[in-house]
């Protein structure tokens, strides 16, 4: 069987005009690991965002208790967890300091909106399940 190279007959590729060129798309989603952090945050209490007091620490040392959800070692994921916990409990009424920490950790505004929209849908589904 013979091979014919038709590339030379087609000429050079046509460049797209500047006004048609596609703008680079910003990353609006979260990685699989980040979505896992959001899912885990659904079951965290608001008290998991606070530092344990002296009495709590002392009782934990005496009785061997441990905080159920210690802070995550990765500061980026911890900022995500903190915002997700607040969003699961308070919806869109997230304190500005948490939003600022979320952005300081390197997340974008589009990712913030994607996260809150997803959690809002999750909260609505949970509320529908409770009413049924």
Give average pLDDT by consecutive 10-residue segment, the chain, 132 residues.
64 55 63 93 85 74 67 86 94 93 95 94 84 60
Give pLDDT, residue 73. Answer: 78
Give pLDDT, residue 66. Answer: 61
What pTM was estimated for this model as a whole?
0.67
Structural domain boundaries in the chain:
28-131
Provide the 8-state DSSP code for 73: S
Give pLDDT, residue 35. Answer: 94
User: Within 64-108, where are the H helices?
Assistant: 75-90, 96-104
Give pLDDT, residue 74. Answer: 85
Give pLDDT, residue 93. Answer: 92
Give pLDDT, residue 34. Answer: 93
Integer Cα distance of 28 and 30 in angstroms = 7
Give pLDDT, residue 3. Answer: 67
The contacts found for 46-54 with CB under 8 angstroms, 24 or more apart, are: 46/85, 46/86, 46/89, 48/85, 49/82, 49/85, 49/86
Give pLDDT, residue 128. Answer: 82
């Amino acid at each position: 069987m013979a091979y014919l190279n038709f590339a030379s007959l087609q000429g050079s590729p046509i460049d797209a005009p500047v006004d048609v060129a596609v703008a680079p798309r910003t990353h609006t989603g979260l990685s699989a690991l980040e979505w896992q952090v959001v899912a885990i945050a659904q079951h965290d209490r608001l008290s998991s965002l606070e530092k344990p007091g002296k009495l709590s620490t002392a009782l934990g040392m005496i009785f061997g208790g441990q905080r159920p959800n210690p802070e995550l070692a990765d500061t980026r994921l911890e900022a995500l967890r903190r915002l997700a916990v607040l969003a699961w409990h308070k919806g869109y009424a997230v304190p500005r300091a948490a939003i600022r920490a979320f952005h300081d950790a390197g997340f974008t505004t589009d990712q913030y909106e994607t996260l809150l929209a997803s959690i809002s849908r999750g909260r609505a589904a949970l509320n529908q399940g409770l009413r049924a």
